[in-house]
Amino acid sequence: MTFSTRRSVLTQSVGWLFVVACASAPAAGTPAGKTAGDVITRAELADPSLSGTTVADAVRRLRPRFLNQRQTGLRAESEGALVSINGSQPGSLSDLARIEIGDVEEIRYLNAADANLRFGLASAMRPVLLVTLRTR
């Protein structure tokens, strides 16, 4: 590989690193590592209007974007989100059906890139909903 080719590859790599860093930066006014709107809290789930709904329905009403298919810069996330309960390996969205809404402490959204860093190939480059159950 010639010096010119190596320099070109390095320049492109730095450019992509900059793009990724800017794209994953938190919104202004939010603490590092936490993006506004990426968490559904127990207080939100306790809203009386959600009484009798499933966790999936609550997510659909409170944060529909968690479940929406969307296009990222690298690929379409057409398969939809996966679900990780208390840190388990990601599984199907249908796993939300077996959870009582009152048992949930929080639901946190991980985009596909962050899910891939945390779960590796198990996330299949799809977003993951991290469901933390309440301890009793």
Per-residue model confidence as pLDDT tens for the chain (136 residues): 666 666 665 556 544 444 444 444 444 444 444 455 999 999 999 999 999 899 999 999 999 999 875 545 555 444 689 999 999 999 999 999 889 999 999 999 999 999 999 999 888 889 999 999 998 7
- Residues of the domain holding 22: 1-29
pLDDT at residue 121, as a whole number:
84
- Let me know: does 72 contact 79? Beta carbons within 8 Å: no
The count of domains in the chain is 2
Is residue 22 located within the same domain as residue 45? no
Is residue 42 located within the same domain as residue 102? yes
Is residue 114 located within the same domain as residue 74? yes
pLDDT at residue 100, as a whole number:
92
**Torsion angle defined by CA atoms of residues 12, 17, 23 and 25, in that order, rounded to the nearest 10 degrees:** -150
The residue type of 128 is V
Is residue 5 located within the same domain as residue 67? no
pLDDT at residue 45, as a whole number:
96
**Torsion angle defined by CA atoms of residues 56, 27, 29 and 34, in that order, rounded to the nearest 10 degrees:** 50
pLDDT at residue 68, as a whole number:
76
Is residue 64 located within the same domain as residue 104? yes
pLDDT at residue 28, as a whole number:
41
Q: What's the mean per-residue pLDDT of the chain?
A: 78
pLDDT at residue 18, as a whole number:
46
Is residue 20 located within the same domain as residue 84? no
